[in-house]
Each structure stands twice: as C-alpha cells, then as structure tokens.
C-alpha cells in the first residue's frame, strides 16, 4: 500500500510507495518547496530571493545551479555547476533576443512585430557558425525555413493543414479527412500511403499503393487488440492499469513476449520465447541496477558509472581504457583508447564531423535541427522527416527506405525497402524488437539491452533497421544514435552534449533518463513516462531556460521549476496539484477515489464510493451542459481534500472518511442542482457567468502574486467591472463546456466570489479579422486559428503535454496555489 501525509496547509510532506521507499518534502512561505528528501536521505534544496523567485537549486551531491532575474521578472542568467554561464536578453514583449555564454558562445534572434523568429544566428568558439532563416504567410504560418544545408517549404490549405512539405527537391504531400485526420501521404518517390478510419476516428487499415498491409481490431477500452499484417497476426493483452502484459506475433514463425509489472506499475520482467527471460531490479531512487546478470552503478547525481569509470561534473571522463575529452560548451569531442575518435559540433550543438583512422564522415542539418544528410567516401545518404520523426532515407546508390508510422502516435508500423514491406514488432516503449516479412519470417532481431544497445551479431538477412528507442535512429557507421536534438551513446546511456533545455531537462545534463524502462526521451530534450495509470508525463511544468524551438517562444513560468524537480526525482509522475494543493490524480478529480499513482485507495468503503459516483452521474443529468467547474466544486466538497487526515485517506480511517464524503457529495450536488450555472442574463451582448464553471487554457495565470491579489481585492470591493477594450471571450466547446481565453480575470473573479460578464462564442464562430489579435493564439507548431475553437485548442497545445492530454477542452484548475 501507499501512504501520504500532509501538513496543516494541505501540502504533501511524506510519501511512501508500495515498495516502502520513503520520500519527504519541506516547504517555506507561500507554498514554496524548500527541499525534496530522497529515500536514501539525501536532499535536493531550493533557494529563493525576497520576491520569492527561485535563485538556486542544490543537488544531492552538492552541485548547484544559480538563476538570476531582471526587473521585468525574466530569467536573465543560468549558471550551471560545470562552469557554463548562460545570459539572456529580452525585447519589450518579453521574447528572448540574445543568449550568450561570454567568450564561448552567442546566439542572436531577430523577430517580426508578432514575435515570430525571422533569423537566428549562433556562433561559438572553435565551432562552425549556424544561421537559420524563417518566413511566414499573412496568416502567420511558417512557409519557409532555410540554412546552409537544406531549404524547407510548406504549403497550407484554408483549414490550416499542411498539404505539402518540401525538403530541398523532395516533396511529401498530405491529404486529410473528417476531423483533420491524415488519410493520405504521397512520398517523394511516388509511393502512396492511405489510412482508413472507423466511425470512432481510429485508424483501422493501412494501404500502400492501394494494397492493404495492416488491419486492426480494438477492445472495449479502445486499445488495439489484434493486427493483421500480411500473413501475420499480432495480438496483445493489457491489465486493468493499461500495462501491456502479452504480445504475440503469429506467422510462419511465431513469437510471444510477456511482461510482468511490480506494484508501482514498473516493468519487472519479460519472458520471450525466442530470446529468453529478462529480469530487472531498481534501487530506492527508481534507477535500474540489475538487468539479469548485468549490474549498473550510479553516483549521487544520477550518472551511470561504467566499470572503471570516472565522472566529473556529470561528464564521463574515463570508461575502461577510454579517455574522453570535452570542449568549453560541454560536448564530448574526443575519445582515446584502443582507437581514437574525433567529433566536431557546430554552434547549435549538432554533430557535423566524425573521424576515426580510415574513416571520415560529415553531416548536415535543416533549419529545424533535423539531420539532412551524411557524406562518406561511398557517397551521400539523404534523410527526410515527418515532423519530429524520421520518414525515410535514401542510400548513396539511390534506394529509398521508408518508415510508415501510426498517424496518431508515430509508432513504427512498417519499413518499406525496395517497395517490400517489413513489419515491426515493438516492446512496451515502442522500441523495435524484431522485423517480420510478408510471409511471417523473422528478418531482423535487435536483442537490445535496456539502454537501447543492440547486439551486432543479431542483425541478419542484410536488412537495414536503424530505428531504436522512440525518436532515435542509429548511424550504423559510428554506433552513435541520432535522437532528434542530440546524439546518444547507448553503450553508456548518455548524450554527447548537455541538454539544450538547461534545467527543464532535469538536474543531469547528460543522462538519457533515470531509468530507460520507465522513461523515454523522444526529442533528446526531456524524458517522459512510458507507463502511468493515467498516461501522465514527467518533466512538463518547468520553465524552458534555453529556447530551442525556432518558431515559437516558450514561456518561463517561475513558480513551477522546483515542483517539477520534486516530481521528477521522486517519480510521482501522475501527481497533479489540485484546487486544495494536494497531490491528486486526474482520476480523483473526476469523482473516482484514487491515490497519486492511479490506484484505488485501500480501505475505502466501496458503497460510499458508488454513492459518490451516483451523485456525480445524477448531477450530470440535471445540468444543461457538462461544465467542468461543477466537478471541481463536487470534488472539493465531496472528496474533502482539505479536510486534514481525511485528505490522504490512508488505511485505518478510510471507511469513516469515505462515509462522511457521501453526505458532503449529496449536499454539494444538491446545491449545484439549484445553482444558476451558467446564469443566462445577457447585458449588451455580454453573458453573466459564474467563473467556477469556466475552464482555462493555461497552467498558470499571466499575472501572479501581488497583481492577482490586487485584482481579486478590487473585485471583492467593486464587483466585476466591464472594460470595453478588454472583454473576456469564452468559447463553448464540443462537450458543451465553456473555456476562457482570459485566465487571470477568471481566477480573480473566482477568488473574489463574483460573477463575470463575457462574450460567449460558438466553437466554429470565425475570429475577428485582426492579425495582431490572431497572433496571440498561434499553435505550438505554427498553426494559425481561423475560428474561436481553434484559438482555444492552440492555446492548450502550447501548454505541457500533461496539461494537453489531461484537459483537451480546458482545465477547471489553475496550477499550484492559484485557486486561493
């Protein structure tokens, strides 16, 4: 069982997981975390200035990061313990214009009046300079991106969908169906891929050049149950938590792979009838320490220590007979041992040259940082992309190899080699395990370890299969794995360069993840959970200190950084902070009684829980539409999350606590039935609404601290004041709920207990023809909205993936502390 303890302010102070690992938290004024205590007793500590801004993070091994702030409240300095000291400059709109590591590296960004990047130039000591250019259409959509190695061009339709993507002379065309789903992809060599969807929007069949290659069926949880692939059939089963427990591939040859999970829903063992059994063991920090007979060791900073290895400031200096050398920006540029390797990186941290005796390779990249080509004495290999995943590669002889993927998840499905399909069998992380041909013969088997290192003697039948862990492909000439924004060494489980995101990527700049069985890093930036009961991700609610995305500025919310690292290091990846400051799951917020890891709370009276759920369903029937706000009120009252010991509902008093919740639930829903939600009074085109029942599109309010308090106090004194030039816009979403694009005043009105007046728009209502106004709602990938619903969706798309996946229609909660 799991146990949780809270202080009088309702903050989580102690957590013990099902394995008995104990984690602790310490807090200061204004809900600020001061320290996280690991099960081994070591602490991560946080320091703040007089304005309660985070100024330092000290890791368990004493290494410290320091942050500086300017007068406008932006981070203007981030000093890492390895000596890298990055400075930031901003324009009046708060966009980063300069980043610099004085004497070693500098980046200058030029923007248009809407804040979009036009030109970005990076220069570094002993590194090749990189200049990237971007152009946009009148709707603000990116149409061109170029640099020295490749030119990119996009064509858009009137619905804001990409219809053509040109990478130099290579064109990929896209066709769409209802709901904006991709139905057709035409590849540069003329190959055409079709996806057909069922009535529920799930892709059901995949055809290439008119020939059906895959057909799927689904279980009652909308998960894939069977897959017919040529003469092969794949079937799979999941447990009640959504964890994969069996996958069977049946053809001329067959393979069965079983998965066993521990009480924390972490992979404990696999049983494969072709490659044998593998058992895994973790330490109290969740780090992988045993994989069958292989033992892994770590230092206090989370660095994996190879046998005879030496780590200094997170840099691997020595491993076995190999000595490693780094440049001033932290890139691993030289290995000397039995042989010598030289690596050269450009000013964007991209590997552009690799040398060994008798081997010389150069690389080029496009303006989005994707690898464009590789040149050797044998010729040029060309790489093409679909968004952030490899689409295909052309060998020096001119042969194309395509990677066909799930259009919704990017899961590899088929690789086409000389127009012949080969089918992927994947593990629980979507890493290829085997390739099968049309007749069901195994043609490739990786036999990889947990860190993604394949055994070379298992690569057979002459099939080139370079995909590795999600987002990766291996350069077979070097053994180095390209991981989108960085290069990865699976032999050591480390990246060759520091994390471009700085602190957002975690407190270790080089490690892949703390455990590659439980977490993956598809972009080479920050890791996310593979399996969690609520499909939550880790590491999403932190500021990005280094902005890599060249076409979109990413906000720097100061209040979330230390919280993110508390969650990351403890592994409470499904915990979200609810309206009363407690760690809760999404399931709990929707009326189910779960603990922060998605397990139903032990000892809770099932009859009481059912009574609560009955009340919830009855309340839904009596409402005109499903407003998420009433669920917040119901959860606040019925689950009693602020009720001291009852909040944790730990074993021993759970039944009594649950019983008291039933009466609270009935009272809460009784009040809701009588409530005017929303109030239909319309005044001069404005509708009076209760802010409790309006969802928001962001994780934090734009105006925080004293400004929010002042606004709240003003509303308490004077009520809600209509400002003609600053009207609140609210959008009715497809589920009937209302979602606002003005989060700060919604929160202030909620805190003040007053109703608001707002303009209510239908989802499909067109936005005003005002380019400056529309520019506020550009999507995370440059999507320009045409109607109010798309504006809401784009605003949500710019939030963390945890927020996007949990609240696709908007959230009834504003993050930590904002509902007080």
Closest CA to 407 of 170, 204, 141, 157: 204
Backbone CA torsion sign across 200, 203, 209, 213 = negative
Q: Which residue bears the tokens 């005044």?
A: 683
Note the pLDDT tens digit of each residue in 729-748.
999 988 778 899 888 888 88
What angle, 0 to 180 degrees and rounded to 10, lies between the N-to-C axes of helices 606-622 and 628-638? 150
End-to-end CA distance of the chain: 31
430-434, 661-665, 747-751 — most confident range: 430-434
What angle, 0 to 180 degrees and rounded to 10, lies between the N-to-C axes of helices 628-638 and 654-674? 140
HSE of 14 in the Cβ direction (CA atoms, 13 Å)?
11
Q: Decide: helix, strand or coil at residue 432.
A: strand
- Specify which residues 236 forms β-bridges with: 247
Phi-psi region at 306: left, alpha or beta (left = phi > 0; alpha = psi -120 to 50): beta
The model's confidence at residue 703, banded by pLDDT at 50, 70 and 90, is very low
pLDDT at 484 over 50: yes
Question: Residues 618, 657: one domain?
Answer: yes
- Cβ atoms of 494 and 488 within 8 Å: the answer is yes
Q: How far is CA 395 from CA 166, 360, 392, 401, 642, in A?
A: 19, 17, 10, 8, 62
Question: Residues 579, 652: one domain?
Answer: yes
* DSSP E strands, 599-737: 682-683, 686-689, 694-695, 728-732
Encoded tokens for 150: 């490749």
Question: Residues 691, 754: one domain?
Answer: yes
523-532, 661-670, 697-706: least confident range? 661-670
Residue 704 has a CB neighbour count (10 Å cut-off) of: 18
142-156, 281-295, 660-674: least confident range? 660-674
- Cβ atoms of 506 and 546 within 8 Å: the answer is no
Phi-psi region at 68: left, alpha or beta (left = phi > 0; alpha = psi -120 to 50): beta
479's CB contacts (< 8 A; 6+ apart) are: 489, 490, 491
DSSP letter for 634, please: H
219: cis peptide before it, omega within 30°? no
pLDDT at 122 over 80: yes
pLDDT at 564 over 60: no
Q: Which residue bears the tokens 């229609």?
A: 809
pLDDT at 656 over 60: no
pLDDT at residue 676, rounded to an integer:
33
Q: Decide: helix, strand or coil at residue 627.
A: coil
Q: How far is CA 373 from CA 125, 367, 370, 470, 589, in A?
A: 24, 13, 9, 20, 48
Phi-psi region at 522: left, alpha or beta (left = phi > 0; alpha = psi -120 to 50): alpha
pLDDT at residue 694, rounded to an integer:
86
Q: How far is CA 229 from CA 75, 320, 403, in A?
A: 52, 45, 15
In-domain check, residue 813: yes
- Cβ atoms of 49 and 55 within 8 Å: the answer is yes
pLDDT at residue 774, rounded to an integer:
83
pLDDT at residue 536, rounded to an integer:
31
In-domain check, residue 809: yes
pLDDT at 436 over 60: yes
157-171, 303-317, 322-336, 774-788: least confident range? 774-788
In-domain check, residue 434: no
pLDDT at residue 721, rounded to an integer:
84
263 or 549, which is more confident? 263
pLDDT at residue 778, rounded to an integer:
86
Note the pLDDT tens digit of each residue in 195-212.
999 999 999 999 999 999
Backbone CA torsion sign across 207, 460, 258, 602 = negative
d(CA 678, CA 511): 50
d(CA 745, CA 414): 50
Residue 304 has a CB neighbour count (10 Å cut-off) of: 21
d(CA 97, CA 257): 51
pLDDT at 581 over 60: no
104 or 694, which is more confident? 104
158's CB contacts (< 8 A; 6+ apart) are: 786
Note the pLDDT tens digit of each residue in 223-248.
999 999 999 999 999 988 888 999 99
Q: Which residue bears the tokens 């709990």?
A: 588
pLDDT at residue 281, rounded to an integer:
98
Q: How far is CA 628 from CA 589, 677, 691, 692, 737, in A?
A: 10, 11, 11, 9, 7
Note the pLDDT tens digit of each residue in 586-644.
223 223 333 333 333 333 334 444 444 444 444 444 332 233 333 333 333 333 322 22
User: CA 546, 552, 557 angle in degrees (round to 5)?
Assistant: 55
In-domain check, residue 212: no
586 or 679, which is more confident? 679
The model's confidence at residue 460, banded by pLDDT at 50, 70 and 90, is low
Residue 20 has a CB neighbour count (10 Å cut-off) of: 10
Number of domain units in the chain:
2
Question: Residues 652, 764: one domain?
Answer: no
Encoded tokens for 511: 């490690």
Q: Which residue bears the tokens 């009340």?
A: 615
What's the average model confidence in pLDDT over 136-145?
95
Question: Residues 660, 706: one domain?
Answer: no
For the entire predicted model, the pTM comes to: 0.70
User: CA 52, 581, 728 angle in degrees (round to 5)?
Assistant: 80
329-333, 343-347, 727-731: least confident range? 727-731
User: Please, is 802 exposed, middle or buried when counting C-beta atoms within 10 Å of its C-beta (0-12, 13-18, 19+)?
Assistant: buried
Percent of the chain with pLDDT over 90: 57
Kindly report each contact of residues 51-55 with a partner whose C-beta sits within 8 Å and lies 24 or more positions away, as own/partner. 52/705, 53/558, 54/558, 54/561, 54/562
pLDDT at residue 465, rounded to an integer:
94
Phi and psi angles of residue 111, each rounded to the nearest 5 degrees, phi first = -130, 160
d(CA 417, CA 406): 18
Question: Residues 663, 765: one domain?
Answer: no
Phi and psi angles of residue 685, each rounded to the nearest 5 degrees, phi first = 80, -5
pLDDT at residue 611, rounded to an integer:
45
Q: What is the DSSP string of 265-326?
A: S-EEEEEETTTEEEEEEE-TTS-EEEETTEE-EE-TT--EE-TT-EEETTEEEEETTEEEEE
In-domain check, residue 713: yes
pLDDT at 692 over 80: no
95-99, 168-172, 340-344, 722-726: least confident range? 722-726
- Cβ atoms of 574 and 597 within 8 Å: the answer is yes
The bridge status of strand 728-732 relative to strand 756-762 is: parallel
pLDDT at residue 67, rounded to an integer:
95
478-487, 690-699, 744-753 — most confident range: 478-487
In-domain check, residue 21: no
Closest CA to 452 of 520, 383, 553, 525: 520
In-domain check, residue 739: yes
Where is the domain boundary, 648, 675, 702? 675
Q: Which residue bears the tokens 């809760």?
A: 584
pLDDT at residue 505, rounded to an integer:
86
User: CA 524, 264, 611 angle in degrees (round to 5)?
Assistant: 120
Mean pLDDT across the chain? 80
pLDDT at residue 813, rounded to an integer:
56
Where is the domain boundary, 660, 675, 690? 675
Q: How far is CA 637 from CA 17, 149, 605, 671, in A?
A: 27, 59, 18, 11
User: CA 630, 707, 112 angle in degrees (round to 5)?
Assistant: 95
The model's confidence at residue 706, banded by pLDDT at 50, 70 and 90, is low
pLDDT at 134 over 70: yes
256-265, 461-470, 687-696: least confident range? 687-696
H/E run at residue 628: helix 628-638
What's the average model confidence in pLDDT over 251-272?
94
Q: In what order do the strands lie in the sheet containing 494-495?
A: 473-474, 481-483, 486-489, 494-495
d(CA 55, CA 664): 42
Phi and psi angles of residue 64, each rounded to the nearest 5 degrees, phi first = -130, 140
Encoded tokens for 18: 């099902």
Note the pLDDT tens digit of each residue in 29-79.
767 889 999 999 999 999 999 888 899 999 999 999 999 999 999 999 999
Residue numbers of the domain that contains 627: 575-675
Where is the domain boundary, 675, 706, 736? 675
pLDDT at 585 over 50: no
HSE of 8 in the Cβ direction (CA atoms, 13 Å)?
0
What's the average model confidence in pLDDT over 170-175?
98
Question: Residues 614, 697: one domain?
Answer: no
Instruction: Tell me how far the alpha carbon of residue 815 is from its chain's centroid.
Output: 17
d(CA 38, CA 570): 7
Question: Residues 688, 820: one domain?
Answer: yes
Note the pLDDT tens digit of each residue in 763-819.
988 888 777 788 888 887 778 888 999 999 998 988 877 677 777 888 865 532 333
d(CA 309, CA 321): 9
pLDDT at residue 458, rounded to an integer:
53
In-domain check, residue 617: yes
294-308, 538-552, 624-638, 740-754 — most confident range: 294-308
What's the average model confidence in pLDDT over 17-28?
90
- Cβ atoms of 624 and 616 within 8 Å: the answer is no
Question: Residues 654, 579: one domain?
Answer: yes
Question: Residues 685, 712: one domain?
Answer: yes
What's the average model confidence in pLDDT over 686-714?
73
Question: Residues 719, 817: one domain?
Answer: yes
Question: Residues 703, 760: one domain?
Answer: yes
Q: Which residue bears the tokens 């609810």?
A: 578
784's CB contacts (< 8 A; 6+ apart) are: 139, 140, 141, 160, 774, 778
Please provide the size of the chain in residues: 820
């Amino acid at each position: 069982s799991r146990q949780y303890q809270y202080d009088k302010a309702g903050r989580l102070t102690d957590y013990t997981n099902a394995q008995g690992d104990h984690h602790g938290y310490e807090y200061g004024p204004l809900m600020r975390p001061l320290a996280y205590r690991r099960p081994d007793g070591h602490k991560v500590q946080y320091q703040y200035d007089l304005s309660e801004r985070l100024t330092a993070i000290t890791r368990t091994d004493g290494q410290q990061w320091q942050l500086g702030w300017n007068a406008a409240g932006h981070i203007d300095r981030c000093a890492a313990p390895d000596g890298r000291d990055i400075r930031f400059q901003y324009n009046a709109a708060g966009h980063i214009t300069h980043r610099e590591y004085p004497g070693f590296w500098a980046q200058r960004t030029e923007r248009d009046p809407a804040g979009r990047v036009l030109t970005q130039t990076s220069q570094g000591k002993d590194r090749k300079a990189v200049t990237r250019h971007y152009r946009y259409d009148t709707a603000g959509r990116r149409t061109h991106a170029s640099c020295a190695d490749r030119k990119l061009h996009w064509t858009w339709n009137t619905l804001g969908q990409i219809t053509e993507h040109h990478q130099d002379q290579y064109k990929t065309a896209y066709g769409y169906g209802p709901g904006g789903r991709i139905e057709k992809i035409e590849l540069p060599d003329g190959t055409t891929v079709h996806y057909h969807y069922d009535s529920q929007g799930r892709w059901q069949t995949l055809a290439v050049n008119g020939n059906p290659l895959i057909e799927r069926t689904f279980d009652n949880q909308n998960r894939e149950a069977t897959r017919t692939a040529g003469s092969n059939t794949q079937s799979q089963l999941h447990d009640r938590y959504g964890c994969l427990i069996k996958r069977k591939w049946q053809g001329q040859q067959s393979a069965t792979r079983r998965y066993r999970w521990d009480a924390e829903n972490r992979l404990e063992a696999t049983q494969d009838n072709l490659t044998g059994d593998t058992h895994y063991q973790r330490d109290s920090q969740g780090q992988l320490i045993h994989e069958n007979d292989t033992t892994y060791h770590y230092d206090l900073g989370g660095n994996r220590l190879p046998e005879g290895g030496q780590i200094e400031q997170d840099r691997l200096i020595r491993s076995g007979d190999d000595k490693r050398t780094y440049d001033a920006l932290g890139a691993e540029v030289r290995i000397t041992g039995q042989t010598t390797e030289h690596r050269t990186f450009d000013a964007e941290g991209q590997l552009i040259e690799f040398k060994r005796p008798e081997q010389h390779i150069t690389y080029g990249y496009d303006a989005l940082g994707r690898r464009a080509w590789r040149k050797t004495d044998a010729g040029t290999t060309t790489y093409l992309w679909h968004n952030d995943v490899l689409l295909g590669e052309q060998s020096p002889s001119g042969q194309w190899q395509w990677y066909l993927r799930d259009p919704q998840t990017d899961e590899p499905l088929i690789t086409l080699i000389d127009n012949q399909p080969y089918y992927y069998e994947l593990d629980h992380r979507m890493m290829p395990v085997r390739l099968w041909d049309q007749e069901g013969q195994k043609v490739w088997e990786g036999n990889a370890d947990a860190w993604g290192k394949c055994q070379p003697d298992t690569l057979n039948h002459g099939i080139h299969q370079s995909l590795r862990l999600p987002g990766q492909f291996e350069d077979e000439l070097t053994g180095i794995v390209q991981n989108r924004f960085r290069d990865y060494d699976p032999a050591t489980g480390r990246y060759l360069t520091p994390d471009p995101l700085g602190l957002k990527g975690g407190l270790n700049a080089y490690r892949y993840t703390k455990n590659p069985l439980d977490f993956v890093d598809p972009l080479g930036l920050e890791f996310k959970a593979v399996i969690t009961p609520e499909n939550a991700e880790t590491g999403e609610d932190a500021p990005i200190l280094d902005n890599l995305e060249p076409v979109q500025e990413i906000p720097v919310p100061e209040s979330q950084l230390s919280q993110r690292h508390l969650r990351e290091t403890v592994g409470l990846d499904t915990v979200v902070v609810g309206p009363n400051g407690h760690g809760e799951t999404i399931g709990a917020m929707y009326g189910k009684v779960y603990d922060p890891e998605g397990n139903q709370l032990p000892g809770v009276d099932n009859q009481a829980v059912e009574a609560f759920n009955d009340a919830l369903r009855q309340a839904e029937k009596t409402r005109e539409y499903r407003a998420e706000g009433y669920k917040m009120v119901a959860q606040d009252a019925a689950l009693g999350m602020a009720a001291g010991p009852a909040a944790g509902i730990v074993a021993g008093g759970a039944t009594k606590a649950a019983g008291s919740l039933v009466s609270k639930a009935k009272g809460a829903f009784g009040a809701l039935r009588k409530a005017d939600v929303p109030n239909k009074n319309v005044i001069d085109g404005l509708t009076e609404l209760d802010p409790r029942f309006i969802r928001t599109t962001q994780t934090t309010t734009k105006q925080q601290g004293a400004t929010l308090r002042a606004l709240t106090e003003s509303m308490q004194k004077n009520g809600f004041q209509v400002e003609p030039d600053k009207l609140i816009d609210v959008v009715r979403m497809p589920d009937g709920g209302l979602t606002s694009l003005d989060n700060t005043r919604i929160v202030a009105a909620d805190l003040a207990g007053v109703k608001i007046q707002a303009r209510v728009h239908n989802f499909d209502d067109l936005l005003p023809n005002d380019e400056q106004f529309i520019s506020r709602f550009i999507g995370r990938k440059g999507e320009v909205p045409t109607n109010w619903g798309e504006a809401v969706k784009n605003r949500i798309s710019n939030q963390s993936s945890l927020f996007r996946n949990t609240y696709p229609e908007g959230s009834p909660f504003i993050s930590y502390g904002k509902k007080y």
